[in-house]
Amino acid sequence: MAMQALDLQNARIAAQEAVRKVRAAKDHLDPASIDLILRDARSHYAWTDRPVEEALLREIYEITIAGPTSMNTCPARFVFVTSEAAKDRLAKSLKAKNIDKMRAAPVTAIIAWDPQYWTQLPFLFPHEDRRPLFEGNQAYIDDTGFRNSTLQGAYFMIAARAVGLDVGAMSGFSNEIVEAEFFAENGWKSNFLCNLGYADENALFQKLPRFAFDQICSVI
């Protein structure tokens, strides 16, 4: 049910005040914080045996879910693989070179998305009913779901770094096997995997090149 006009206006005023309060408290991140989450952050493939507490996974989720998605669709779903039994199931899907990386990590997150995400729009986007945009339009459902779950996966990686964890994303796996093992009942679709934990920096090699601004950007 769409929000009533007065409720919508009050919600907008509250949102505007909240954003101004955040900006007044901190208008930009300091260089060290930017280094931590992106500029000097690294993808990791070796891990210490230090465990990751569930409370930290919950904190990462709360940060992640605050990130923007189209129409607030929030299509991403997260499965945290931690037990040996679950790792055995996940290993079936992995390319050989990724199995040891996954098993060594305290947590491997399956970043997935729910094809039925759009049916939750009355809760997620109460301003108006946007479900007619999706009904009977599978291509639009799939494009929106995959694109926005990928965005949420990126937010997830940044959030994990922000709270002190290291990450190592992986795409060398069979989506079909992951979906058969973990999503046979709910129909979710896998996007990518992400190892989480406290890295063993001794396994790092040099940071790989990046393009310069003028090589791939234009201002028109």
Per-residue pLDDT of the chain (220 residues; tens, 9 = 90+): 556 777 888 888 998 998 899 989 999 999 999 999 999 999 999 999 999 999 999 999 999 999 999 999 999 999 999 999 999 999 999 999 999 999 999 999 999 999 999 999 999 999 889 999 999 999 999 999 999 999 999 999 999 999 999 999 999 999 999 999 999 999 999 999 999 999 999 999 999 999 999 999 999 9
Q: Give, in degrees to the nearest 5, the angle at Cα 103 between 97 and 104.
A: 100
Sequence-ordered list of residues with C-beta below 8 angstroms from that of 183, at least 6 positions apart, any chain? 112, 189, 190
Q: Are 120 and 143 in contact (CB under 8 A)?
A: no
Confidence at residue 9, expressed as pLDDT on a 0 to 100 scale:
85
- Identify the structural domains of the chain with CATH numbers, from first to last: 42-201 (3.40.109.10)
Confidence at residue 116, expressed as pLDDT on a 0 to 100 scale:
98
Confidence at residue 127, expressed as pLDDT on a 0 to 100 scale:
85
Confidence at residue 3, expressed as pLDDT on a 0 to 100 scale:
65
> What's the length of the chain?
220
Confidence at residue 177, expressed as pLDDT on a 0 to 100 scale:
98
Sequence-ordered list of residues with C-beta below 8 angstroms from that of 92, at least 6 positions apart, any chain? 177, 181
Rounded to a whole number of angstroms, the CA Rg of the chain reads 20
Q: Please name the residue that has the structure tokens 């920096």.
A: 201
Sign of CA dihedral 132, 135, 140, 146: positive
Confidence at residue 7, expressed as pLDDT on a 0 to 100 scale:
80
- Compute the distance between CA of residue 169 and CA of residue 167 in angstroms, rounded to an integer: 6
Q: Are 151 and 140 in contact (CB under 8 A)?
A: no
DSSP 37: I
- Compute the distance between CA of residue 122 and CA of residue 2 in angstroms, rounded to an integer: 7
What six digits make up the tokens of 72? Answer: 């607030």
Beta-sheet strands, E only, within the chain = 76-81, 107-113, 166-170, 189-197
Confidence at residue 103, expressed as pLDDT on a 0 to 100 scale:
97
Q: Please name the residue that has the structure tokens 């926005």.
A: 148
Buried b (16+ CB within 10 A) or exposed e, 88-100: eebbebbeeebbe
